[in-house]
Chains A and B, each alone.
Chain A
């Protein structure tokens, strides 16, 4: 009994659509953790000094030196003198002393990959386009494409920024956050609806429609701040919107965009796998003609999928606005490539009928893990695109090979 149960678990482990992605993430995580453990780096942490304390720099002979007159490697002791006592810190335990701010930093040896700050950063960086990838999964399952997601993201961010900036610096998050969400999502929804309606209504391939929208919306993203503000970017938001909400700190990390990504992924998974609407998307992507004969309102479903994708672009743009505290005209430039790459790496077929939301999110995380790997390995970012391109091709080739093997077995 036990053996069969074990077999079924292993079968489940390797038979699941996302198992390959999870395996890749596990291997990358393990490799980076081991590399980081073998080659830890020195970081720093501020030492809280007593009030009015003075830091004296002593060389190996105990002679005191003024800051700026002795090299860091010649300092043997950092003596902290306050009114009540004097404390010596050995130079081997100190990272540096900054005389400009009067701050003393302790040495902090860290694993450059496996520290909570880095792990949250990787998922946070992935979250902005992973949220959009949830919508793109639906589009690609439909055998469609949306090249305008980066421009929708940029336009939603710019219009949202204008709305957020109109609030005073002391505005409450309970007012600013809903308004920002409403404006960003409304702009995204409108653009997404336009994509879907034009594509279905005019009978033009979505590649052409969304290509045109990509250019037109990017133009608007540049023109609007230029006309209204005479600048390239809009910032100066209430702190309740940025550090008070979207960049709120929890135990030294900023997880809000990650939480939004997780919630979006769960909602996306539910819609695609547990609703009639989700099944209709797969049916249309599998065979559109058959879906029509089965009585599925193909046009309506398509318009709704593009509209939802637009709305998710708006949601992601709002998280971007709150996290970075500004929007600029280049926001989301070339995001469509990252979003499509995440979806494809996640197992979606550009021929339609296949794809998962969880896969797309894991694909986005893999893309960010690759970026993070290059930073940790100290590889010049000029190589980023080469590695990324290779990763996409390898992922698709492996996936297709897996499909062929499964088809033969069937």
Chain B
């Protein structure tokens, strides 16, 4: 290997050039901060750049959120004649809180006005979001919150209430009696813990239903989930109701063979594949979250704050659940075509 002097020389030259260029790119802040005695004029058109960061690009629910954000951006740009909204979709290919934090920092550095984010890990993202808020960026979380970050608002369902709703629906189709099993993914995930707690809490309301038994599986894949359900049902044939706090097993075909004949099933997440189970009557009820709304409402709230300086009344903005049964499954499936930009 040769001496590194060449590299050091080149690096020094590069650094010097960068410093000179940085010096040349003069900021207008100093001018702006000084008082202005000229005639005051309002801004003719405001441009709002909003970064949207979901958990992963490979999950269809976040594609719906992306389209919701894009749609809201276009609609608000048309509605507000004096404002243009630009949506910057910055989402890692798979769930990675560190990459999300890096996207937050880079978006802030590139001067965005707002950030809407679904936090993969609140602990890890709190620092980056706090720094964004300190720099005047309007932050809204959706789907998964970072409550200590100083964000303006959270939009999504209340996970505990979601669990209660699943159990409420299950109790109705079971006639308020029987043995219930709960299927959950990563037992350490706080949103899933809250949903499971909601199911268990609601089950106490029904005398004919014994305390639900909770079964978890890892990793959170469709095949793992389907295998877990099959094993549990085979070992416990007296189970007459399943509360699924996520729709994992329903992302494969024939996951419920040997189960739906013996038990009623209520699940979260009426995505396109789970909807097929509802149409066939193998799943009685699907409880939905506002996938499209995650992006749409978050952008609306951010623009409302930026353009009119209006904040939501509460920092926790809870969405209603969509209840899907075999009766309205086909109609609900049409929503997905729109949410995924297929029409």
User: In the complex, which residue of chain A has the Cβ closest to the Cβ of B101?
Assistant: A324
Determine if A125 and B102 form an interchain contact, defined as CB atoms under 8 angstroms apart: yes
Determine if B188 is an interface residue (Cβ-Cβ < 8 Å).
yes
**Which B residues are in CB contact (< 8 Å) with A103?**
136
Determine if A232 is an interface residue (Cβ-Cβ < 8 Å).
yes
Q: Quick check: which of A72-80, A176-184, A190-198 contacts chain B, the rest being far away?
A: A72-80
**Which B residues are in CB contact (< 8 Å) with A93?**
31-33, 36
Given A42-B111, A114-B18, A106:B309 Cβ within 8 A: no
Taken together as a complex, chains A and B put the C-alpha atoms of A75 and B45 apart, in Å, by 12
**Which B residues are in CB contact (< 8 Å) with A326?**
121, 123-124, 126
Given A91-B43, A378-B86, A16:B306 Cβ within 8 A: no
Proximity string of chain A (222-243) to chain B, C-beta cutoff 8 Å, 1 when within and 0 when not: 1001100111111110000010
**Which residues in chain A, 295-343, are within 8 Å of chain B measured between CB atoms?**
320, 324-331, 333-334
**Which residues in chain B, 279-320, are within 8 Å of chain A measured between CB atoms?**
306-311
Say how far A79's CB is from chain B's closest CB, in angstroms.
10
Determine if A73 and B83 form an interchain contact, defined as CB atoms under 8 angstroms apart: yes
Determine if B88 is an interface residue (Cβ-Cβ < 8 Å).
yes
Q: Quick check: which of A116-124, A286-294, A393-401 contacts chain B, the rest being far away?
A: A116-124
Among B89, B94, B95, B110, contact of A112 (Cβ-Cβ < 8 Å) = B110
Determine if A44 is an interface residue (Cβ-Cβ < 8 Å).
yes
Determine if A109 and B98 form an interchain contact, defined as CB atoms under 8 angstroms apart: no
Among B1, B10, B39, B124, contact of A273 (Cβ-Cβ < 8 Å) = B1
Determine if B42 and A384 form an interchain contact, defined as CB atoms under 8 angstroms apart: no
Taken together as a complex, chains A and B put the C-alpha atoms of A53 and B228 apart, in Å, by 62
Determine if A203 is an interface residue (Cβ-Cβ < 8 Å).
no
Number of A interface residues at 8 Å Cβ cutoff, please give it.
103
Determine if B93 and A385 form an interchain contact, defined as CB atoms under 8 angstroms apart: yes
User: In the complex, which residue of chain A has the Cβ closest to the Cβ of B34?
Assistant: A93
Determine if A376 is an interface residue (Cβ-Cβ < 8 Å).
yes
Proximity string of chain A (41-74) to chain B, C-beta cutoff 8 Å, 1 when within and 0 when not: 1111111000000000011100000011111111
Say how far A82's CB is from chain B's closest CB, in angstroms.
13
Taken together as a complex, chains A and B put the C-alpha atoms of A320 and B80 apart, in Å, by 43
Taken together as a complex, chains A and B put the C-alpha atoms of A42 and B39 apart, in Å, by 22
A-B pair count, CB < 8 Å, reads 243
Determine if A111 and B41 form an interchain contact, defined as CB atoms under 8 angstroms apart: no
Determine if A12 is an interface residue (Cβ-Cβ < 8 Å).
yes
Proximity string of chain B (1-24) to chain A, C-beta cutoff 8 Å, 1 when within and 0 when not: 110101100100010001001100
Determine if B46 is an interface residue (Cβ-Cβ < 8 Å).
yes
**Which A residues are in CB contact (< 8 Å) with B1?**
272-273, 356
Determine if A91 and B42 form an interchain contact, defined as CB atoms under 8 angstroms apart: yes
Determine if B42 and A328 form an interchain contact, defined as CB atoms under 8 angstroms apart: no
Say how far A76's CB is from chain B's closest CB, in angstroms.
4
- Main SS of chain A's interface residues? mixed
Among A60, A87, A273, contact of B42 (Cβ-Cβ < 8 Å) = A60
Determine if B67 is an interface residue (Cβ-Cβ < 8 Å).
no
Determine if A231 and B25 form an interchain contact, defined as CB atoms under 8 angstroms apart: no
Proximity string of chain B (31-61) to chain A, C-beta cutoff 8 Å, 1 when within and 0 when not: 1110111111111111101000000010000
User: In the complex, which residue of chain B has the Cβ closest to the Cβ of A219?
Assistant: B218
Proximity string of chain B (180-200) to chain A, C-beta cutoff 8 Å, 1 when within and 0 when not: 000000111110000000000
User: In the complex, which residue of chain A has the Cβ closest to the Cβ of B216?
Assistant: A226
Determine if B127 is an interface residue (Cβ-Cβ < 8 Å).
yes
Determine if A324 and B98 form an interchain contact, defined as CB atoms under 8 angstroms apart: yes
**Which A residues are in CB contact (< 8 Å) with B22?**
114-116, 119
Determine if A41 and B94 form an interchain contact, defined as CB atoms under 8 angstroms apart: no
Taken together as a complex, chains A and B put the C-alpha atoms of A329 and B47 apart, in Å, by 38
Taken together as a complex, chains A and B put the C-alpha atoms of A98 and B4 apart, in Å, by 51
Determine if B92 is an interface residue (Cβ-Cβ < 8 Å).
yes
**Which A residues are in CB contact (< 8 Å) with B18?**
29, 114, 119
**Which A residues are in CB contact (< 8 Å) with B188?**
225-226, 229-232, 329
Say how far A366's CB is from chain B's closest CB, in angstroms.
14
**Which A residues are in CB contact (< 8 Å) with B47?**
42
**Which A residues are in CB contact (< 8 Å) with B257?**
none
Determine if B123 and A325 form an interchain contact, defined as CB atoms under 8 angstroms apart: yes
Given A89-B36, A326-B123, A378:B88 Cβ within 8 A: yes
Given A105-B136, A106-B29, A110-B25, A74:B310 Cβ within 8 A: no
Proximity string of chain B (92-119) to chain A, C-beta cutoff 8 Å, 1 when within and 0 when not: 1111111001110111011101000000
Determine if B27 and A108 form an interchain contact, defined as CB atoms under 8 angstroms apart: yes
Determine if B86 and A115 form an interchain contact, defined as CB atoms under 8 angstroms apart: no
**Which A residues are in CB contact (< 8 Å) with B33?**
45, 47, 93, 106
Among B31, B41, B89, B123, contact of A382 (Cβ-Cβ < 8 Å) = B89
Say how far B187's CB is from chain A's closest CB, in angstroms.
7
Determine if B94 and A333 form an interchain contact, defined as CB atoms under 8 angstroms apart: yes
**Which B residues are in CB contact (< 8 Å) with A68?**
308-310
Among B10, B95, B307, chain A packs the most CB atoms within 10 A around the CB of: B10
Determine if B136 and A222 form an interchain contact, defined as CB atoms under 8 angstroms apart: no
**Which A residues are in CB contact (< 8 Å) with B334?**
none
Determine if A325 and B14 form an interchain contact, defined as CB atoms under 8 angstroms apart: no
User: In the complex, which residue of chain A has the Cβ closest to the Cβ of B4?
Assistant: A269
Taken together as a complex, chains A and B put the C-alpha atoms of A235 and B97 apart, in Å, by 13
Taken together as a complex, chains A and B put the C-alpha atoms of A118 and B136 apart, in Å, by 17
Taken together as a complex, chains A and B put the C-alpha atoms of A358 and B104 apart, in Å, by 28
Q: Mind listing 12 A-B residue pairs with CB under 8 Å?
A: A44-B135, A44-B136, A68-B309, A93-B31, A93-B33, A96-B306, A232-B188, A325-B123, A330-B98, A334-B94, A375-B103, A375-B107
Which positions in A face B, CB cutoff 8 Å? Answer: 12-13, 16, 18, 22, 25-26, 29, 33, 36-37, 41-47, 58-60, 67-77, 87-100, 103, 105-112, 114-119, 121, 125, 128, 222, 225-226, 229-236, 242, 247, 269, 272-273, 320, 324-331, 333-334, 356, 358, 371-372, 375-376, 378, 380-382, 384-385
Extra A-B contacts (20), CB below 8 Å, given A46-B136, A114-B18, A235-B123: A45-B33, A68-B308, A71-B307, A73-B44, A73-B82, A90-B39, A92-B41, A93-B31, A100-B311, A106-B29, A107-B29, A114-B21, A121-B106, A226-B187, A232-B189, A233-B123, A328-B124, A330-B98, A333-B95, A375-B103
